[in-house]
Amino acid sequence: MTTAAPSPPRLPASARGVLDDFRRAFGEAALVWQRTGDGWDPAGAHPAAHGRSADGAAEVPGTALRVEIRDGSAEDSAAAARFLGAMLARAAKHEDEIRSFSREIGERYEEITLLYSISEILGSIISLENAARTILGEVASVLSARRAALWVHDRDTGMIRLAAVVGGEGHSEPVAVDDPCSITAAVFREGRHVLLGPGEEYQREDCTSGARQRGSFLSVPVSYTPPEGETRAVGVINLIGRETNEGFSAGDLKLLSAIASQIGAAVENNRLIAESLIQQRLARELELAHDLQLKLLPPLEQFRGYAEVAARCVPAESVGGDFYHLFRLPNNRLGVLIGDVSSHGFGAALIMALTISAVAIHASEGDAPSEVLHRTHRAVIDELENTEMYLTLVYAVIDPAAGTLTYSNAGHGHAFRILASGEAQRLAATDPPFGIVDRDTYAETTVDWVSGEDLLFLFTDGLSDALDAGEIEGERVLLEVATDMRREPPEQICARLFDRAGEATHIPPDDRTAVVVRF
């Protein structure tokens, strides 16, 4: 089998052009040799030069070129060879520079295309995980990386978790930010890159085991700079291994850092979007909880034609611990309830729901106020102790035929009977609040009731406190409003009370509730 001889080395096109220009200008032929190993091989010549002896020859300093001139005196030919050799070397150098520049332009174009592609990916893919996986695939392809991974800091857990990865097997368990044996954690904490060549090895001095990396490896921090504030790290990008024998270069580091900057903004935007979605979902849940709580309160329209009643409950938050209820009882009687849990928010709302349910069960059975409070206390005491809350509660039963109002008061200070004369009689506490003392029995008190003239006025301290006048003075103002308007419809009295209270300005807001009854 015959093996074809290798093609002789060729001069760049610009150098061959110089040879042609030399022949046309001086009418002399030239032969150029290029050193290959221990000998010289022809690299370029004018056809007329072949088969002739050399009259002058010169090696070009700093190059692997030798130039021979044919058809001339030895002295002139040697000088011409030196001159021609210098021109050929310069032409070859310029062409090498052009090729290098073209190569660099091509690389930069590829990098710019990659950055532009990443911008499009981040703008078109909502999921950070999907976008990151696509981006890492592009990066691994352009930089010939065997494995590319994006690690993102989770503020809630304080861990750095793997958000996306392409290629190969590797570590995937979350790492703590302060882990001394994790290169990823070190890059995140210190904000400095790690760049290793094929034969290099890296190991943290502050770790006796682990944190070791050998071979081509590039790790850069992913940072985010807010419009106002300092730059902060949000993650890390790791490139591990290379398809080629070359290691990652300084240019690769610069490109990956630019990509990390783009990803940093996307990571932060993704976090903000996630927080916004959580807040929207929470707001929706709070709205639903608010609506549900209000539905636990009785519709006052069902008492039209039976009794004159007005009530309003305004939670300080979406849900609260104030509540009221009214019950149509046998023998033309009316049950009225108001309660105030010591806190507000979801915990208080739970106590409120449990209390209303318990009172509704026992009141509908026609139990006396003292028995209703006793059984209700047994139903809610465990929850009160677990939440360390307490509850004030008044349950009153009005019997127009008997001309009586019978009530049990578990520590609720704002309960009054307003007489037709304008006198306000306090319905004093018969027992301590729920959750303060565990009691087996509850007391009740009966007072006179003039049907159609007397007014039952119950409210919580959130309403009086909203006056910013102190508890005693706030109560006095509300009583004054109610007694002055005692002959007006309860709806007008209730509306005036809340208008008078207005908005709290100097104290934290509290749940506000009032009940006005004429029966």
**Mean pLDDT throughout 316-321?**
77
Q: Where are the domains of the chain?
A: 13-102, 125-275, 297-518
In this structure, what DSSP letter does residue 431 have?
B
The reported pLDDT for the residue numbered 479 is 95
Among candidate residues 223, 433, 449, the one with its CA nearest the CA of residue 339: 433
The reported pLDDT for the residue numbered 1 is 46
* Range with lowest mean pLDDT among 201-215, 386-400, 446-460, 468-482: 201-215
Strands 56-59 and 65-70: antiparallel
Helices (H) and strands (E) in the chain, counts: 10, 22
Model confidence over 451-488: pLDDT tens digits? 999 999 999 998 988 887 777 888 999 999 999 999 99
Element spanning 458, H or E: strand 455-459
The radius of gyration of the chain's CA atoms, rounded to the nearest angstrom, is 46
Whether the per-residue pLDDT at 159 is higher than 50: the answer is: yes
Q: Phi/psi of residue 17, each to 5°?
A: -65, -35
pTM score:
0.55
* Range with lowest mean pLDDT among 71-75, 327-331, 401-405, 452-456: 71-75
Say how far apart CA 90 and CA 188 lie, in whole Å. 49
3-class secondary structure, 392: strand
The listed range with the strongest mean pLDDT (29-38, 122-131, 333-342) is 333-342
Model confidence over 228-282: pLDDT tens digits? 778 888 899 999 988 888 889 888 888 888 888 878 777 777 777 767 777 777 7
* Range with lowest mean pLDDT among 227-231, 413-417, 435-439: 227-231
Among candidate residues 201, 199, 179, the one with its CA nearest the CA of residue 190: 179
Domain 297-518, CATH among 3.20.20.70, 3.40.50.300, 3.40.50.10490, 3.60.40.10 = 3.60.40.10
Q: What is the mean pLDDT of the chain?
A: 82
* 261-262-265 Cα angle (round to 5): 90
Q: Using an 8 Å Cβ cutoff, are 137 and 109 in contact?
A: no
The reported pLDDT for the residue numbered 111 is 59
Domain 125-275, CATH among 3.90.180.10, 3.40.50.720, 3.30.450.40, 3.90.190.20 = 3.30.450.40
The reported pLDDT for the residue numbered 54 is 54
Say how far apart CA 189 and CA 182 lie, in whole Å. 11
pLDDT bucket at 519, cuts 50 / 70 / 90: very high
